[in-house]
Structure formats: C-alpha cells, structure tokens
Structure 1
Amino acid sequence: MLGLPKGEVFLVPWTEDWLKEFLLEKGRIQEKIGKYILAIHHIGSTAVEGLSAKPIIDIAVEIKEFNDGKHCVSLLESLGYSYKGTNILPDRHYFNKGEPRTHQIHMYQSGNRFLMEQLKFRDYLRNNDKARMEYQELKMNLSKANKNDKHKYADEKTDFVKSILEKI
C-alpha cells in the first residue's frame, strides 16, 4: 500500500515494495534532472527494513547548488510532483506527489546539516535493532494519539530523534 490521504496519520508494516518503488522513482528523477544531482537517497521510515511507516516514499535529492532546485521544478512537475517551495521545511526545496500523497522529495544542497542528520538517523536505525524497536513503539503510540494531526505526530518524535543524533 502506498499513499496517505491529506490530514491523516496511520502506519502500515514495512514492505520490500517500498524499496522497489523508491528505485523506480529514483530512475525517473535521475532521467529528468540528472545533470543537477549528486546523489538520491531513500530516507525516512520506509527506508528502514522492519519499521512500520506512513505509506509515503521520502526521497532526498542532493544537488550541487541550492539554487539549482529552481531549475528542477517544471521537470519534476512533469513527473506529477507539486512544488511547495523552500519555506515548508528548513534549507530544502520540497515537492510532493499524489493525492493521497505517495512520494515526497526533499532537495538539499550537498553537505546540508538536515540531510546529514536524515542519513545518520536512517543508518543508525538500520543497524540497531533496539533503537528501531523503540522508535517503532513510539511511532505506533503517536499515530494512534494523533490520527488527524501530522504536525503533532512529527513534533512528538523530535526528542527521540535528537537523542539518537546526540549518540552518533
């Protein structure tokens, strides 16, 4: 299953289909804006085997220069993405696709702090069963408590994420 209706928060069990979908989308993105890209990363919970997640594929696109993101807008729109600008989330161009939402692109300049934190957190969860299980339990509880408030759901995960990032 892929897609999260606007305003809803729910989790589904991890599936290898998420990796397949990421790889397909990575190819589409690379084909359209490859000359601006340094790397494309699968981020977020769908990138961590065994972790339940909101059914949205999060993609980090690493570009050479932040302003290159502006050159990518119409090309990504041709793939069905909607450009949401640079004011939604810090230091990134943000795009989403679908209704219900199926994909999100977070486009960062190479070396960006938020990108590096995303990758470190993802890799830590991939390699640490105990932390992954703790995060799973937290997410399950928060998704039940915040079924219609994605911002509160996300905010209440912050302390856990920070505690991991401080360790690594």
Structure 2
Amino acid sequence: MDETQRTGTRRRADVTDLELVGGVERRELHLVDPDPAWSAWFDDHEARIRRALGATALRVEHIGSTSVPGLAAKPILDVLVTVPDITADEDYVDGLVAAGYVLRVREPGHRLVRTPERDVHVHVLEDGDPLADDYLVLRDHLRLDADDRRLYEDTKRDLVARDWSDMNAYADAKTEVITAIKARARSRNPYPS
C-alpha cells in the first residue's frame, strides 16, 4: 500500500474540465423488461474489475436501474468503483483499459470507462465521495419502495420516447425526479448505505 492509500491524501490536483473522449455521441435509447441475468452480468464484471485493480478497488457495487429487481432499464450495466485517490489515474485507468474497458469520461471527481460495446459503464469515484453514497441510497430505496420505483420507471419511459442529442442530456432530464426520490429515501433512512 502506498502513502496515498494509507493516508487518504491526493497525489495531485484533480482535473478541472470535462474530457469526453470521442466527443458527444448520439444513441438510441430504449428500455427493456427486468432481466434476472443482470445480477450475473454484474458478477462477471465485478470479478473482471477486481482482477484488474486488486486492492485499489475499495468498493465495486452494482448501481443503476439494472441493479433494482423489477425495474425496466436501458440494457446498460452501471458499476460503481471507489478508489483511494481519484487523481491517481495510473492506479486504475491503465488496469481497467488492460481489462478491456475504454476510457470515456475524465472530469473532476469522476472517471468513466466502458466496454467497447457501450453496454457496461464503470463509474470511478474517490472513496468517501458523497456521489457514491447517492448512487447507493437511490439503488437501495428503489429496491424497497414500489411507488418510487414505479415513478422512476414512468419517468424513464417518458424520457426515452423523446429525441436526445446525447445520453448525458437524457440523464440530466431525470435529475429532478432522482433528487426527490433520494430526499424521500434520506428522510426515511438518514444515514448513507
């Protein structure tokens, strides 16, 4: 374990701008019915990520709609990986690329790699980043609350029927509903996952 991993300090300042490798992409969005195979699909990627990163991957969690049984989803698996130092790209990006993922996003506090098929998105955050807890709070709440699960699915169905310039615009359009769901989740269970 190096000094950064032991003390939790960053090696350098983080990036300050969004780097979208490959530029804006237009993608057709659609939802599919829940698939019990999504859990095994995650297990395969969790093992692949852990082999690639070893102890650098502090947490590997299945997030997003495919992690919620009974929820329709885009057929894209979302994975959360937390690392000791987000600025130390060399500790995790190289390993993930060697494992077959492709770097897509480098932005303050967040990196994203994905499969070449664009069907698995691996979100890398620094351990302790509140966004990591946000992902888990949303996931855990949707697993338990049928009304919010239905609201979220209805919102997604409405949004995928629209024309989007890129996936980020679609994701941004869900923000208001996601924020409301997370607020309800935290009011019922005020501690992070």
Taking structure 1 as the reference length, what is the TM-score of the superposition? 0.88
Identity of counterpart residues, as a percentage? 30
Within 5 Å, which residues of 2 pair with 1:152-167?
152-167=169-184
Unaligned runs of 5+ in 1: none
**Code of the aligned partner of 1:58:** D
Q: Is the 8 A contact 1:63 1:69 kept in 2?
A: no
The corresponding residue for 1:63 is 83
**Code of the aligned partner of 1:81:** Y
| Corresponding residue to 2:49 among 21, 29, 32 | 29
- The list of structure 1 runs, each at least 4 consecutive aligned residues, that deviate by more than 6 angstroms after superposition, is none
Q: Is the 8 A contact 1:11 1:53 kept in 2?
A: yes
The corresponding residue for 1:122 is 139
Q: Does 1:95 align with 2:113?
A: yes
**Code of the aligned partner of 2:73:** A
- SS of residue paired to 1:86: strand
How many residue pairs are counted as aligned between the two chains?
Answer: 161
Structure ID, larger Rg: 2
Taking structure 2 as the reference length, what is the TM-score of the superposition? 0.77
Counterparts of 2:55 and 2:26 in 1: how far apart (Å)?
Answer: 32
The corresponding residue for 1:134 is 151
Unaligned runs of 5+ in 2: 1-24, 187-193
Offset of 1:149 from its aligned partner?
A: 4.0
Return the structure number with greater relative CO, CA threshold 8 A, min gap 6: 1
**Code of the aligned partner of 2:147:** K
CA deviation vs aligned residue, 1:112-159 (integer Å, no higher than 9, x gap): 011111110111101101100111111111101236642332122110
Q: Does 1:49 align with 2:66?
A: no
**Code of the aligned partner of 2:43:** L
Offset of 1:69 from its aligned partner?
A: 3.5
**Code of the aligned partner of 2:39:** L
The corresponding residue for 1:16 is 36
Counterparts of 2:69 and 2:137 in 1: how far apart (Å)?
Answer: 15
